[in-house]
Amino acid sequence: MAGEPQDDCLFCKIVSGTIPATIVRETGTTVAFRDINPQAPTHVLVIPKAHYQDAAALAAAAPELAADVLRETREVAQEEKLESYRTVFNTGAGAGQTVWHAHAHVLGGRGLHWPPG
Ligand code: AMP
Ligand code: ZN
């Protein structure tokens, strides 16, 4: 069912604490943790605790939860003292999505080129 934890999902395991992560923020509905393979000096992932396979599914099924995720990207950026930063939702394999639990990347601490590759 939409939103239910998935046994085979890496990020559901981070939510449950089965797999460790460097958690930087947690709310009732979201978790933010450092990316294991950072692409910038600050690279934090913000996820909903509930499982949705990607940002599109999250936005369609639970827009208030999607807003929680977006709000948390701002909180992370403030805590990390980022003046500029980029929020990315890779959606679909062709866009580079590799983990099928919706997540926002928060990237900052270096110059970020536009457009991205
Ligand atoms: P994406 O390619 O947009 O699906 O992003 C998935 C991200 O999850 C990548 O940037 C990975 O480096 C990151 N990642 C994978 N496993 C872990 C983990 N155990 N802890 C933290 N980040 C992870
Ligand atoms: Zn999941």
Q: In the predicted model, what is the mean pLDDT of the chain? A: 97
CB 76 near ligand 1, within 6 Å: no
Domain 10-108: which topology? HIT family, subunit A (3.30.428)
CB 21 near ligand 1, within 6 Å: yes
Segment 31-53 shows an average pLDDT of 98
Least confident range from 1-10, 31-40, 71-80, 90-99: namely 1-10
* Catalytic residue flag (residue 103): yes
In the reported structure, the alpha carbon of residue 97 is separated from the centroid of ligand 2 by a whole-number distance in angstroms of 13
Percentage of the chain exceeding pLDDT 90: 97
- Residue ranges near ligand 2 (ion) with Cβ within 5 Å: 6, 9, 11-12, 51, 101
**C-beta separation of 43 from 34 below 8 A:** yes
> What is the separation, in whole angstroms, between the first and last Cα of the chain?
34
CA distance 93 to 104: 15
Q: Where are the domains of the chain?
A: 10-108
**C-beta separation of 49 from 15 below 8 A:** yes
- pLDDT, greater one: 1 or 100: 100
Segment 80-106 shows an average pLDDT of 98
CB 37 near ligand 1, within 6 Å: yes
pLDDT given at position 2:
83
Cis previous bond, 115, omega within 30: yes
